[in-house]
Amino acid sequence: MNLTFRLKLLLKILFVLLLLLPACVPAQDDDEWPSLGYLRSDYREVAVVAHIRIKDAEITSRIVGYENWRIRAEVIEPFKGKFKQGDAIEYLHGAEAGFKQKYFTGEKIVFLLAERERESGRRYYAVLENSTLPYNEDRVKKLRVIRGRRR
């Protein structure tokens, strides 16, 4: 695929996401959303699920209408993957341009894909699109059920 085709495809995807974004925002304000089934679906798709506290966030690159953020955080409670409580974790989060840094602060529940760079083969983590959630106890209880151990 040539660069022009890729950019056009990316812009189309971003356009669709921007159209759908307003419909998703009210649902995330509901403390009981998402459902157990929705969380279970995202859980199955990723390598890491964790309740984290973000320590640092910075923009690492930009393309038209889009920014890549590098997030550094501490694991508060792991639900899936190799990380343990207290571990440092770093991951990438792509977002529409214009997100304020305050969005990337505080406690979150993240669903992370394990990816590899094509050239170097280096492994990194990236968020599953539209899956990062603000922390609340209802979501953590559901993830504990999915994990199979109650605390």
For the cut 90, the answer to whether the pLDDT of residue 146 exceeds it is: yes
pLDDT digit string, tens, across residues 23-58: 444 445 577 889 999 999 999 999 999 999 999 999
Report pLDDT for 98: 87
- In whole angstroms, how far apart are CA 145 and each of 34, 39, 50, 105? 14, 11, 14, 26
The verdict on residue 84 lying in a domain is yes
The verdict on residue 19 lying in a domain is no
pLDDT digit string, tens, across residues 51-72: 999 999 999 999 989 999 999 9
d(C-alpha 50, C-alpha 75), whole Å: 7
82, two tokens: 């190799």
Which CATH number belongs to the domain containing residue 98 in this structure?
2.40.50.120
Token match 């840094």: residue?
Answer: 101
2, two tokens: 């040539």
The verdict on residue 9 lying in a domain is no
Alpha carbons within 13 angstroms on the beta-carbon side of residue 40 total 7
Mean pLDDT of the 128-143 span: 95
Number of domains in the chain: 1
What band does 22 get if pLDDT is binned at 50, 70 and 90? low
The verdict on residue 4 lying in a domain is no
The verdict on residue 70 lying in a domain is yes
Q: What is the pTM of this model?
A: 0.77
Mean of all residue pLDDT scores within the chain: 86
Bridge partner list, 63: 66
CB 24 within 8 Å of CB 130: yes
Segments forming the whole domain that contains residue 73 = 29-147
